[in-house]
Every structure is written in structure tokens, then in C-alpha cells.
């Protein structure tokens, strides 16, 4: 038994350690450097987070939603925003969004007036409140249905885009609050609409951050 252990320690262990070191260097260092270098060379914008930067100022990532709720901006999807849990190094609150895990089925242990509520009922109440909020902000569209993506959270809680229908729904309000014509607004929406990949895969969506930066004159 002792001789077997001694052989392992003297012969097999150094070999195993050498193999571990070699593959750690190849997979952990060389591969990482190669992938990072190639991505920085071929896709520098995407490799660095798809940051929207104008004249040296960074306005956020085009892949992450930001919350807009004033009348002069286009609104994105509903966000569950938490500004109390996280702070930066200076102690200032950092906005953090999370998805809603409510589903039309099942039961949640969240209580309301001492009674358990079903997810379906709670969702209906939340959506009703959101519909009322959207209709109040867009009184010109009271005769039209509110697009579903304006009253529901995305899976990530940080979806950067809305449907073309949801963007179109807000145009009458933006005509009134921004002073831009309907044609100007439609041109902006069209410019920042992301189309289906190869015209087949995925869905068209409007990037809300870019539209709002265009409304402010930051993006052209």
C-alpha cells in the first residue's frame, strides 16, 4: 500500500499537476485572451457592452432598459425598480430592476388584507392599474387597446425595446409634448426599430433609449 501511494506521489501527481497547469494556461489564459482580442478587433462596440456614447458622454447600454415616465419621453416596458437595496461607493442609491415572477397559475404566499391571493387575480389587478396609468398619460388613445408590452414586465425586467405598436400608441402624446410633427416622430421610430434577423427570426422592436436620445436631440 505504501509503495503504491509513494509511486502516485512521485510519478502520477507531478504529471497530473503539469497537465492541470497546461490546460489552465490554454483554457483560462490563452483562450480568454484570444476571444477577447478577436471580439475587440471585430466587434468592439458589442464587446464593450453596446454603450450609446455621443461626444464622449455615455448614456447607457442599448441592451438595457432605462426608466422613463415623463410625458416628453417614450415609455418602455414596466420595470420593478428597487433603489433601496443597492448603493454605490458614495452611498447613493443605485437603480436595480427585477422581473415579476407572477404567473396566471398557482398561488402566491403574498398576503393582501390577511388573505392569500392567487397569482391570476393579482396579475389582473396589476395590469388594470397599469392600463389606467397608461391611459391617463395617453388620453388621445382612450379608444384604442393598450399594447400588452406596456403593461407587463419582461422576463429580465430590463428589456430595452417595445413593440412597434407600443411605440405607435405613444406618438399622439409625443406630438403634443415634444412639439415634433407626427412625421418626424415616425421617422425617429423607424430609424431606431430593430428588424427581424434575416427578415425571419425574432420580432421587430423599437429601442426606447435611442428614441428618447433622438427626442432630446442627442442622437440624430
Q: Per residue in 186-203, pLDDT tens?
A: 999 999 998 877 777 878
Sign of CA dihedral 174, 178, 180, 186: negative
122 and 38 fall within a common domain: no
User: What is the mean predicted confidence (pLDDT) over 23-33?
Assistant: 91
Q: What confidence tens digit (pLDDT) does each residue in 146-198 have?
A: 998 888 877 777 788 999 999 999 999 999 999 899 999 999 999 999 887 77
Domain that holds residue 106: 49-215
68 and 39 fall within a common domain: no
Q: How confident is the model at residue 93 (pLDDT cuts 50, 70, 90)?
A: low
107 and 23 fall within a common domain: no
> 43-57, 92-106, 162-176: lowest mean pLDDT where?
92-106
26 and 80 fall within a common domain: no
Q: How confident is the model at residue 49 (pLDDT cuts 50, 70, 90)?
A: confident
- Let me know if residue 220 belongs to a domain: no
109 and 169 fall within a common domain: yes
8 and 70 fall within a common domain: no
12 and 85 fall within a common domain: no
For the chain, the domain total comes to: 2
- Let me know if residue 112 belongs to a domain: yes
- Let me know if residue 10 belongs to a domain: yes
- Let me know if residue 92 belongs to a domain: yes
Is the pTM value of this prediction over 0.85? no
111 and 32 fall within a common domain: no
- Let me know if residue 120 belongs to a domain: yes
Amino acid at each position: 500500500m505504501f509503495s503504491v501511494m509513494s509511486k502516485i506521489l512521485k510519478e502520477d501527481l507531478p504529471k497530473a499537476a503539469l497537465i492541470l497547469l497546461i490546460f489552465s494556461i490554454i483554457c483560462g489564459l490563452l483562450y480568454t485572451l484570444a476571444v477577447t482580442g478577436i471580439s475587440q478587433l471585430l466587434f468592439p462596440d458589442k464587446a464593450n457592452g453596446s454603450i450609446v456614447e455621443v461626444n464622449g458622454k455615455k448614456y447607457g447600454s442599448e441592451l438595457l432598459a432605462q426608466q422613463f415616465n415623463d410625458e416628453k419621453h417614450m415609455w418602455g416596458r414596466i420595470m420593478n425598480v428597487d433603489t433601496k437595496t443597492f448603493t454605490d461607493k458614495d452611498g447613493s442609491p443605485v437603480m436595480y430592476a427585477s422581473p415579476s415572477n407572477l404567473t396566471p397559475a398557482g398561488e402566491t404566499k403574498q398576503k393582501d388584507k390577511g388573505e392569500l391571493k392567487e397569482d391570476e387575480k393579482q396579475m389582473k389587478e396589476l395590469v388594470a392599474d397599469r392600463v389606467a396609468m397608461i391611459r391617463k398619460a395617453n388620453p388621445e388613445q382612450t379608444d384604442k387597446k393598450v399594447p400588452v408590452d406596456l403593461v407587463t414586465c419582461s422576463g429580465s425586467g430590463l428589456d430595452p425595446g417595445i413593440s412597434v405598436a407600443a411605440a405607435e400608441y405613444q406618438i399622439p402624446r409625443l406630438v403634443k409634448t415634444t412639439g415634433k410633427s407626427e412625421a418626424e416622430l415616425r421617422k425617429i421610430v423607424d430609424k431606431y426599430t430593430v428588424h427581424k434577423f434575416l427578415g425571419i427570426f425574432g420580432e421587430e422592436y423599437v429601442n426606447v433609449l435611442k428614441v428618447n436620445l433622438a427626442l432630446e436631440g442627442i442622437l440624430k
